[in-house]
Amino acid sequence: MKKIGFIGIGKLGLDCAEVMAENHEVRGYDIYPRASDSVKVCDIDELVNESEWIFIAVPTPHAEGYDGSVPSSHMEPRDFGYDAVIDAINKINVHARESKKVVLISTVLPGTTRREFVPRLARQHQFLYNPYLIAMGSVKWDMVNPEMIMIGTEDGNPNALAGELRELYNTVMQNDPRYEIGTWDECEAIKIFYNTFISAKIGLVNMIQDFSMKIGNIDVDVVTNALARSTMRIMGPKYMTAGMGDAGACHPRDNIALRWLAEEYDIGYDLFATVMHAREMQAKNLAMFLVEQSKQHGMSIVIHGKAYKPEVPYCVGSYSTLIGHYVKQAGHDVRYLDPLADDPAEVITELAEPAVILWAHNRKITYEYTGDQPDTLPYCAIPRNSVIVDPWRKLPAIEGLTVIPYGNTRNS
Ligand SMILES: NC(=O)c1ccc[n+]([C@@H]2O[C@H](COP(=O)([O-])OP(=O)(O)OC[C@H]3O[C@@H](n4cnc5c(N)ncnc54)[C@H](O)[C@@H]3O)[C@@H](O)[C@H]2O)c1
């Protein structure tokens, strides 16, 4: 049983700390009041001095307007903010009465740890960079079933501390994860380019969806399923279903921040701006389709799902609100149905009149990697004669409703 501390027990840190607490003595410190049944929330002095391992899971936020829930590809590229990490490091320096094993989890751009953090950490402490591949809605499952565990050391060699961290993780993992050991900078890069590969992949399949809508006689799923099965040259089947765009607190903003890095290092091109621009235009195309349906049927537009995915409240980086932005830009109102959304603006709880409804949430597709998942149930009674636009093409024909499988323009 190890003594572990988490600085920053928010959306990521608290669940991870609770997973660790199943086998270890875990403390948590946060600048905001937090509570837990299994993690002892305490002050910074106790956390630092009673913990052998200190995990830092504080935010590395992007500036307002850079999360991807509204258009941003036209805005000036910017780096994330690192004040909270620096504050955590300063606090460890001030409070620690002996050497600590410090592990940074927070997402940062490549090069940041070496430039900003390690020079600030008192030399008596040991340090690893260890970002997590974790998604909201499945934090605890992801924590113990990771695709890989990245451990960054100064020179990229698996030092003794990296070995100890591996042993620590072996006490909580449900799977047998692959370990990737690299320099701090390489692990920063693995984490952030993992995210942008996903964004690019979704951008590509949604591009095929756009073409299927324009050309006709194409079911996007026939195309993407064939590509997904083409494992000789292109990657596996994940993120190969066209639908809503990439979203959430991490992926859009990571691409947005990488634009800054491309400029900073004078790479000569900005693939990330292109990925984000494509994401925005795909959202606009879907918005224009909703507007067209709204005009055709004389019905208002409702988006079923405002949070960036089902089962979570977070509207940060939401593709639904990005689509809503373009609907409003075209002069139409938009309302959202979502019982969990943490942003109440334009959220309704029931529908009195038939509407054009974008079926944004699909639980089965979002969480299929965690095992069999039930379908998303309607968030309220859907009035007869409503038109449902299904960007995932999974809804069956429903009596009394028109269901449009967006991205399938085959006649049969
Ligand atoms: N949420 C995810 O799915 C996810 C996944 C992988 C990586 N990450 C990364 O992990 C980091 C944390 O993300 P999150 O989603 O948990 O953010 P969050 O904002 O939900 O949680 C961060 C917590 O840190 C606290 N905090 C802020 N400044 C602090 C300080 N100076 N000292 C102590 N506590 C402080 C906040 O009060 C908050 O509770 C970010 O870098 C993020 O990019 C998040």
Convert the pLDDT of each residue in 25-80 to its tens digit: 999 999 999 999 999 999 999 999 999 999 999 999 988 888 889 988 888 889 99
Is residue 213 one of the residues assigned to a domain? no
- The CATH number of the domain holding residue 18 is 3.40.50.720
- pLDDT band at residue 3 using 50, 70 and 90 as cut-offs: very high
What are the CA-CA distances from residue 144 to residues 16, 24, 202 (Å)? 9, 15, 26
pLDDT, mean over the chain = 94
User: Who has greater pLDDT, 193 or 359?
Assistant: 359
Asked if the model's pLDDT at residue 370 lies above 90, the reply is no
Nearest residue to 177 (alpha-carbon basis) of 195, 186, 168, 105: 168
Give per-residue pLDDT as tens, 304-321: 999 999 999 999 999 999
Is residue 201 one of the residues assigned to a domain? no
Asked if the model's pLDDT at residue 234 lies above 80, the reply is no
Q: Which atom of ligand 1 is nearest to the CA of 248?
A: 3
Nearest residue to 183 (alpha-carbon basis) of 195, 175, 191: 191
CA of 330 to the centre of ligand 1 (A): 36
- Residue whose CA lies nearest to ligand 1 atom number 1: 12
- Range with the lowest mean pLDDT among 119-133, 164-178, 398-412? 398-412
Give per-residue pLDDT as tens, 346-369: 999 999 999 999 999 999 999 988
Is residue 224 one of the residues assigned to a domain? yes
Q: Which atom of ligand 1 is nearest to the CA of 60?
A: 41
Q: Are residues 222 and 188 in the same domain?
A: no
Q: CA-CA distance, 35 to 55, in Å (whole number)?
A: 18
Question: Hey, what amino acid is at 199?
Answer: S
Average pLDDT over residues 143-168: 96
Alpha-carbon 300 to chain mean position: 30
Asked if the model's pLDDT at residue 237 lies above 80, the reply is no
Question: Hey, what amino acid is at 382?
Answer: I
Is residue 346 one of the residues assigned to a domain? yes
Q: Give the pLDDT of residue 39.
A: 97
Which helix (H) or strand (E) covers residue 88, if one does? Answer: helix 83-95
Contact between 106 and 60 (Cβ < 8 Å): yes
* DSSP annotation of 10: S
Ligand 1 mutation target, pool 14, 19, 30, most atoms within 8 A of CB: 30
- pLDDT band at residue 412 using 50, 70 and 90 as cut-offs: low
Cβ neighbors of 33 (< 8 A, separation 6 or more) are none
For 152, the domain range is 3-192
Asked if the model's pLDDT at residue 89 lies above 90, the reply is yes
Q: Are residues 246 and 178 in the same domain?
A: no
Q: Are residues 111 and 187 in the same domain?
A: yes
CA of 305 to the centre of ligand 1 (A): 24
Q: How many distinct structural domains can be found in the chain?
A: 2
Give per-residue pLDDT as tens, 326-341: 999 999 999 999 999 9
Is residue 36 one of the residues assigned to a domain? yes
In degrees and rounded to multiples of 5, residue 203 shows phi and psi of -60, -40
Average pLDDT over residues 104-120: 96
Q: Which atom of ligand 1 is nearest to the CA of 14?
A: 16
Is residue 200 one of the residues assigned to a domain? no
pTM of the model: 0.81
Share of the chain above pLDDT 90, in %: 77
Q: Give the pLDDT of residue 295.
A: 98
Q: Give the pLDDT of residue 386.
A: 98
Q: Are residues 180 and 237 in the same domain?
A: no
Q: Are residues 342 and 239 in the same domain?
A: yes
Q: Which atom of ligand 1 is nearest to the CA of 34?
A: 39
Q: Give the pLDDT of residue 236.
A: 78
- Residue whose CA lies nearest to ligand 1 atom number 43: 107
CA of 84 to the centre of ligand 1 (A): 9
Q: Are residues 225 and 151 in the same domain?
A: no
Q: Are residues 391 and 286 in the same domain?
A: yes
Is residue 49 one of the residues assigned to a domain? yes
Q: CA-CA distance, 113 to 104, in Å (whole number)?
A: 9
Q: Are residues 149 and 252 in the same domain?
A: no
Q: Are residues 15 and 161 in the same domain?
A: yes
Count of Cβ atoms closer than 10 Å to residue 155 Cβ: 8
Share of the chain above pLDDT 70, in %: 100
- pLDDT band at residue 250 using 50, 70 and 90 as cut-offs: confident
Q: Give the pLDDT of residue 16.
A: 96
Q: CA-CA distance, 113 to 185, in Å (whole number)?
A: 7
Q: Which atom of ligand 1 is nearest to the CA of 8?
A: 24
Report residues whose beta carbon is within 6 angstroms of any ligand 1 atom: 7-13, 30-32, 57-60, 84, 87-88, 105-107, 132, 134-136, 249-250
Give per-residue pLDDT as tens, 251-301: 888 888 989 988 998 888 888 889 899 999 999 999 999 999 999 999 999
CA of 11 to the centre of ligand 1 (A): 6
- Residue whose CA lies nearest to ligand 1 atom number 31: 84
Contact between 82 and 335 (Cβ < 8 Å): no
Which of 157, 192, 227 terminates a domain? The answer is: 192
Is residue 212 one of the residues assigned to a domain? no
Q: Are residues 52 and 173 in the same domain?
A: yes
- Residue whose CA lies nearest to ligand 1 atom number 44: 12
CA of 154 to the centre of ligand 1 (A): 24
Q: Are residues 130 and 233 in the same domain?
A: no
Q: Are residues 129 and 33 in the same domain?
A: yes
Q: Which atom of ligand 1 is nearest to the CA of 250?
A: 43
Q: Give the pLDDT of residue 15.
A: 95
